[in-house]
Amino acid sequence: MVNPIPKWVWKRYALLWKKFGDKNFTFEQAKKELKFVDGNVVSVMFNELKNAGWIAVNLDEKDSRKRVYNLLNPITIVESVTK
């Protein structure tokens, strides 16, 4: 189930989607892409996205201490809301 997200999270989601699309990316890559955002804000944003069902979080295959993130396609999100 997908839930709405706050506007500030949506804006950052859109920036990340434009850069990564449905490809995996790391916390550091997201932080670099969102140049003006510190790590704490990125963590809160990821938590909001995860709780709303907009992002998948998995362990890195090479280093299980790290996580990789994958955004859900916005079209999939819209379709799930309209069902």
pLDDT in tens, 46-56: 999 999 999 99
Q: Is residue 1 part of a domain?
A: no
Tally of domains in the chain: 1
Q: State the pTM of this model.
A: 0.88
Domain containing 27: what range? 7-82
Is the residue at 64 inside a domain?
yes
Round to whole Å and give the CA distance between 36 and 55: 21
6-18 pLDDT, tens digit per residue, is 999 999 999 999 9
> Do the domain assignments include residue 35?
yes
- 4 burial (CB, 10 Å; 0-12 / 13-18 / 19+) is exposed
The residue type of 65 is R
Q: How far apart are CA 50 and CA 62, in angstroms?
A: 22
- For 17-76, how does the pLDDT look when each residue is reduced to its tens digit (9 = 90+)? 999 999 999 999 999 999 877 889 999 999 999 999 999 999 999 999 999 999 999 998
Cross-sheet strand order for the sheet of 25-26:
25-26, 67-71, 55-59
